[in-house]
């Protein structure tokens, strides 16, 4: 396996840990309280071998903690994985905006602090305005070094979103979209005004055919639109659509989680963000759109169909 270096990125580091379709599916089920190997197996449709591999991976990266004996183990969230709660809320919000499916339409979030049903909203911690990725600029941070990354050639999973059996998989389309680190990496780079295939290729240690596959997939999914910039031979630039730009809050939660949990040398954030709408450093906050307070896992009731759960707490 070939190793290459890329610019240090908290998003890349985070995606290298949890940005896999199966890891995202497993964590979602454990958030809902499905803790046993058999329960996760049934709800996700993962093969036994893949499930065993991903459970070990998530334990090795302190995102799950195993309890019980060898015959009947259970898997529980840690402080690190509970900190992905805002990431899950942004996934629900994006899914609800772009997919008219019964599962997502049945989701009800109630903020116990104000007693109202709400929609999660990403806001700027300074000006409290809604965050739009088109109003954000990027500068190198104290940790702006280089990261060593594997040049993997694993194919994107062929399992469709509709094939996942879980009733609780409320953002299956987003997982189907970003549950491959190269696809997610391409979207993240597009927020930095990269438009041409060669620009993406220079930034990612990925085979050309795999990158081409991901670019086609993102066009098919309505995340990118193409515009010709050369006729002979015909070449296109790739631009984010509104659907693509609206993924920015989800990626911002990934970046902030990576800043907190994926800084191996303690050098600090590789990148600093400025909210150009107010001119201050951007620290994204996920708030209740009814009362404006930041929402926390132990302050939200989450209901879907006939299933109701209180928001999870850390087992660590």
Every domain of the chain and the residues it spans: 3-8+83-310
Average pLDDT over residues 124-146: 97
Confidence category of residue 124, pLDDT binned at 50, 70, 90: very high
CA distance 304 to 299: 17
Please, are residues 84 and 69 in contact by the beta-carbon 8 Å criterion? no
- For residue 68 the two structure tokens come to 């019980």
For the stretch 20-47, pLDDT in tens is 999 999 999 999 889 999 999 998 888 9
Average pLDDT over residues 242-271: 97
Beta bridge partners of 138: 273
- Taking alpha carbons only, the member of 160, 201, 184, 16 closest to residue 91 is 184
Please, are residues 13 and 181 in contact by the beta-carbon 8 Å criterion? no
- CB-count burial class (<10 Å; 0-12, 13-18, 19+) for 37: middle
CA distance 187 to 196: 13
CA distance 199 to 169: 35
Write the DSSP symbol of residue 36: B
Q: Residue 141 belongs to what H/E stretch? A: none
Confidence category of residue 83, pLDDT binned at 50, 70, 90: very high
* Cα angle 243-245-248, degrees, rounded to a multiple of 5: 120
CA distance 78 to 276: 35
Q: Residue 225 belongs to what H/E stretch? A: strand 224-230
Is the pLDDT at 149 greater than 80? The verdict is no
Please, are residues 311 and 301 in contact by the beta-carbon 8 Å criterion? yes
Average pLDDT over residues 288-315: 75
Topology of domain 3-8+83-310, CATH: Arc Repressor Mutant, subunit A (1.10.10)
Is the pLDDT at 15 greater than 70? The verdict is yes
Is the pLDDT at 164 greater than 70? The verdict is no
In 10 A of CB 170, how many CB atoms? Answer: 25
Confidence category of residue 158, pLDDT binned at 50, 70, 90: low
- For residue 38 the two structure tokens come to 């058999």
Residue bearing the bigger pLDDT, 130 or 180: 130
Residue bearing the bigger pLDDT, 1 or 116: 116
How large is the angle between the packed helices 21-31 and 48-60, nearest 10 degrees?
80
Write the DSSP symbol of residue 81: H
């Amino acid at each position: 396996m070939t190793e290459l270096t890329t610019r240090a990125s908290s998003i890349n580091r985070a995606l290298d840990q949890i940005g896999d379709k199966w890891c995202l599916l497993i964590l979602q089920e454990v958030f809902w309280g499905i803790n046993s190997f058999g329960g996760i197996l049934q709800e996700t449709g993962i093969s036994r071998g893949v499930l065993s591999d991903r459970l070990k991976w998530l334990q090795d990266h302190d995102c799950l903690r195993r309890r019980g004996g060898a015959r009947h183990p259970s898997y529980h969230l840690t402080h690190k994985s509970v900190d992905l709660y805002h990431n899950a809320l942004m996934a629900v919000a994006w899914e609800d905006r772009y997919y008219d499916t019964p599962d997502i339409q049945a989701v009800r979030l109630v903020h116990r602090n104000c007693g109202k049903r709400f929609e999660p909203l990403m806001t700027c911690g300074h000006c409290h305005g809604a965050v739009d990725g088109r109003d954000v600029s990027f500068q190198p941070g104290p940790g702006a070094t280089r990261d060593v990354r594997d040049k993997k050639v694993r194919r994107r999973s062929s399992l469709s979103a509709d094939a996942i059996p879980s009733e609780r998989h409320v953002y299956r389309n987003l997982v189907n979209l970003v549950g491959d680190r190269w696809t997610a990496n391409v979207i993240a780079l597009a927020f930095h005004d990269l438009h041409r295939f060669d620009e993406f290729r220079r930034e990612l240690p990925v085979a050309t055919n795999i990158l081409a596959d991901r670019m086609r997939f993102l066009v098919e999914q309505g995340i990118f639109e193409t515009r010709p910039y050369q006729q002979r031979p015909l070449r296109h630039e790739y631009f984010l659509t509104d659907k693509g730009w609206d993924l920015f809050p989800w990626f911002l939660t990934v970046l902030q989680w990576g800043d907190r949990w994926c800084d191996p040398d303690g050098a600090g954030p590789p990148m600093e963000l400025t909210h150009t709408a107010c001119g201050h450093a951007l620290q994204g906050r996920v708030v209740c759109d009814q009362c404006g307070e930041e929402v926390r896992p132990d302050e939200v009731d989450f209901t879907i169909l006939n299933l109701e759960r209180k928001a999870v707490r850390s087992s660590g």
